[in-house]
Structure 1
Amino acid sequence: MEQLVHFDNDHGEKLTGTLHLPDAPNGCGIVFGHCFTCSRHTTILRRICSDLTLEGFMALRFDFSGNGQSEGEFAKSTYSKQISEMKTAAALLERKGAVWIGLAGHSMGAAIALLTAAQLDVVKAVCVLAGRLSGLNAAHFLSPDQRQQLQSAGSVSFSSRGRSLELSNRFFADAGQYNLPQAVAALKPPLLVVHGDRDEIIPVQEAHQAHALNPVGTTLAVIPDADHMFSDAQHCRQISELVVTWFKKQKEKE
């Protein structure tokens, strides 16, 4: 069963999520964060959340502020703000009865899940899908002209997924305070890293580097021929089965 839920972030903005409820709850809940400029409705997140309920997991996929159906301005997005929002989402699952919490995210959501886990002791397992885990740089998604505009004007306008958006220097300054490789290396909960070897946005080397930083605690799964959004239906099914099986295994270790 799917349930529309709303909860407030620290700024009083109403966030919107879809809560997947199992028929036979196992006391576990997983929070999912979406990719940069995306929403909670990406196919890979919907598929995994639905499949998790078949194994007794609650699953919550939600829109970060300024995205999807959540309130807030995209221009005011930061890593810190999204980390806080994922913490709030995890607390919602606890209020719904989850005593075992996992975090997961796709692309930028993967980085947010990892950084949130580093700050939240309740987290028992982390899954990152097509994540850039070496750190964020403006060169990763801004053209040279856009980077020049950011430097001279303090903000930059761009289009993504049919939206006209704006980012300021504050976003990059905030992201710069987080050391993602250090967070991977120091992560205490087990980590699943899933990446397509034909990812056209974030190279698969990012996944191999993350595994090398924490080889004992990390399970690496490279999906042949998969792209960044895991748009192929067969890849989507394969990854969902992999993620669900992995979360079940981590729960059984408790």
Structure 2
Amino acid sequence: MSTTERISFPGHKGHQLAARLDLPEGPVLATALFAHCFTCSKDIPAARRVAARLAGMGIAVLRFDFTGLGHSEGEFANTSFTSNVEDLIAAGQYLAGRGMAPDLLIGHSLGGAAVLRARAGLPSVKAVATLGAPFDPSHVAHHFEGALDQIMAEGQAEVSLGGRPFVIGKPFVEDIRSVNLRDAIHNLDAALLVLHSPRDATVGIDNASDIFQCARHPKSFVTLDDADHLISDQADAEYAAEVIAAWAGRYVPMRRPAPPPGAPEGIIRVSEADPDGFLQDVQHGPQHHTYADEPRAYGGTNKGMSPYGFVAAGLGACTSMTLRMYIRRKGWRIGKICVEVSHDKVHAQDIQPTGPAQVDRFTRQIHIEGAITEEQHRKLLEIADKCPVHRTLERESEVATKLMAMPAPVAPA
């Protein structure tokens, strides 16, 4: 779950560009700038879903309408690929003015080509990710190839794209024909992630291959499998966001929030990712993100461990760590430790108000690689019961709860 701030900023010609800034509920660990596809808008499902998922993982995302599109001012007929790049640089400057200079650029389709070119004008950017991007921006001309002769002869023509009328001007056609991204990609000076579907019928997978081959390391390629060009399936958009976030963590310096007094390990923040199900984003500082969920049988999507699964995992991890610390202190030569923990109560049944009262029982099996003596066996069992999580589970704990209001999310206009 994230909050969305509705903003505007001046574009390359001073026109006000309409934007959404998707913000994490907790600390902003990094900032991304998202460029949408040709004649699309900031509110296309792929842009909304990718931005929302990244915000849920601590990355703020600015998505905006290029000049003349969506709710932005200006005439689309007077824009070009170069003006889109200039709008991106203006967006980055706006973010920098707020103390949120972009760390990451994400571009979808022609927006992907634009972020590759815009990187040179945004020195704060450490990583660039493209989604279904063309290697040659003139590729988009196939959308209106039937009107090319009229555009070049008369200076412009009205074409129908996605069922909507757009005026394409001669400067736009001349601009995309003149652009060569080869140098921009080769001299990107940022980590590159290329995401593309082999079944993309709009921008073929060969474009991804050309971008990847032209780029220098560090670079990565991830296939989006069955995704369409617009990444219209929610699961595909969420997967893309998860890959981008995990990959960017290697190259983008996440801003670590200071832990509050009395909480040396910081705050674990759990945010609802799917109000229609049970999926939760679990964030601990800038580096650690995972999911909590329920099995499908209980209305979840089974994308993460259940809440009791996390409790059992905490017990197992703490047991193994405590044993290893003791073994090192004693100087014993003991092999790998494996701890299996099971819990006899299912969380989804536990929350039913009419359900019978049950006692929690955690069954723990500790496996030790190699032979140990009887004395070591006895001592390790004793030490296992002294692990801090074990002791916490055995004694009563106090949970202090406060209910706080937060701003309602902004719906797309």
* Fold match by TM threshold 0.5: yes
State which drifts further: 212-221 or 85-94. Answer: 212-221
Specify the alignment match of 2:117 in structure 1. Answer: 115
8 A Cα contact 1:196 1:230, kept in partner = no
Whether the aligned pair in 1 keeps the contact of 2:108 and 2:131 (CA below 8 Å) is: yes
CA distance in 2, matches of 1:137, 1:203: 10
Work out the CA distance in 1 between the residues paired with 2:200 and 2:63: 23
Larger radius of gyration between Structure 1 and Structure 2: 2
Displacement after TM superposition at 1:227 (Å): 1.0
- Please report the TM-score for the alignment, with normalisation by the length of structure 1: 0.92
- Choose which of 3, 6, 11 in structure 2 pairs with 1:4: 6
TM-score (norm 2): 0.58
Corresponding residue SS for 2:40:
coil
Contact 1:138 1:147 in 2 (8 A): no
Q: What is the percent sequence identity of the aligned residues?
A: 30
- Give yes or no for contact 2:17–2:65 (8 Å, CA) kept in 1: yes
Question: What residue in structure 1 maps to residue 16 of structure 2?
Answer: 14
Quote the residue 2:36 is aligned against.
34
Give the partner amino acid of 1:115.
Answer: R
For the pair 1:105 / 2:121, whether they are aligned, the reply is no
Total equivalences in the alignment: 253
Residue equivalent to 2:82: 80
For 1:95-140, what per-residue CA distance to the aligned partner results, in whole angstroms no more than 9, with x for missing partners?
Answer: 2222552111111111111110023222211111111123315653
What's the CA shift for 1:49?
A: 1.1
Residue number among 94, 99, 102 corresponding to 2:96 in the alignment:
94
Is the aligned partner of 1:213 residue 2:209? Answer: no
Match of 1:247 in 2: 248
Deviation at 1:57, TM superposition (A): 1.7
Check whether the contact 2:53–2:238 (CA below 8 A) recurs between aligned residues.
Answer: no
Letter in 2 for 1:74: F
Q: 1:164 to 1:22 in 2, by over 3 A?
A: same
Paired residue type of 1:181: R
| Residues 1-254 of structure 1 mapped to structure 2, 5 A cutoff | 1-99=3-101, 101-137=103-139, 139-143=141-145, 145-214=146-215, 216-252=217-253
Deviations 1:45-73 (A, max 9, x none): 11121122223221101000111111111
Alpha-carbon separation, structure 2, partners of 1:151 and 1:210: 29
User: Post-superposition shift, 1:23?
Assistant: 2.7
Q: Which runs of 5+ in 2 are unaligned?
A: 256-413
Report the CA distance shift for 1:110/1:237 in structure 2 as closer, same or farther (over 3 A): same
**Secondary structure of the residue that 2:137 maps to in structure 1?**
coil
Which range moves more in the overlay, 151-160 or 222-231? 151-160
Which segment is superposed worse, 214-223 or 93-102? Answer: 93-102
Which runs of 5 or more structure 1 residues have no equivalent in the other structure?
none
Report the counterpart of residue 399 of structure 2 in structure 1.
Answer: none
**Greater shift after overlay, 34-43 or 128-137?**
128-137
Shift of 1:17: 0.4
Using the alignment, how far apart are the partners of 1:137 and 1:231 within structure 2? Answer: 21
Separation in structure 1 between the aligned mates of residue 47 and residue 217 of structure 2, nearest angstrom: 27
Task: Please state whether the residue corresponding to 1:245 is helix, strand or coil.
Answer: helix
Query: Any conservation in 2 of the 1:184–1:213 contact (CA below 8 Å)?
Result: yes
Distance 2:163 2:15 in 1: 23
* Residue 253 (structure 1) shift: 8.8
| Cα separation, partners in 2 of 1:119 and 1:45, compared to 1, 3 Å | same
Instruction: Tell me how far apart the structure 2 counterparts of residues 82 and 151 of structure 1 sit (CA, whole Å).
Output: 21
1:157 shift after superposition: 1.6
Offset of residue 250 of structure 1: 1.7
User: How far apart are residue 215 of structure 1 and its match?
Assistant: 5.0
